[in-house]
Structure 1
Amino acid sequence: MGKLDQEEQEILEAFQAGQLEPSGDFQARVATHRAYAEALLRKDARINIRLSSRDLQGLQSLALAEGIPYQTLVASILHKYVEGRLKEVKS
């Protein structure tokens, strides 16, 4: 984990000291966010794709370094791109 800024450090210290309490209807908010996550992560479509052996090996190496299956890495990359959180870097 990277270095925490001052606000993050204060929050961490308050949490560790037991000074934080859940806000509002905590259980309802957890249920709502859980439902959002399940809908987002539901894998309900299958695709087939042809890649060069070199690209596939590269993806597999990256996934191995991250400790995740390469299909999960590919799905994550595609999801981030579709959501606009992954941009092409032009050299």
Structure 2
Amino acid sequence: MASRTPPRFVPTLTEVVPGSAAPPAGEKLNEEQLVHRVMQRVDLTLDKRLREAIASVVLEHSRQLAPALREQIEAVVAKAVSEAIAEELGVEGGDPETQR
């Protein structure tokens, strides 16, 4: 079988792939390159970790708010039902807001 040449866009073992983990042997990184590489590594994990942290905080706050929200919703629904019943029964006295 004859040896095939890979397509131009496929990296080979002798090419440096952008974003690879280690510099070629014997190459020293300058400060700018080092900062860039460190930032790339941070970017890879920061997004995921921030999402997890934010989700945890939102979930905890939602759990703490649930009883107060439920109480407020129950009060609003009870008032709306009372007002609707009063209007349907034709309760005298004008504005249902003043009949508390």
TM-score by length of 1: 0.28
Using CA pairs under 8 Å that are at least 6 residues apart, name the structure with larger relative contact order, 1 or 2.
1
Provide the TM-score with structure 2 as the length reference.
0.26
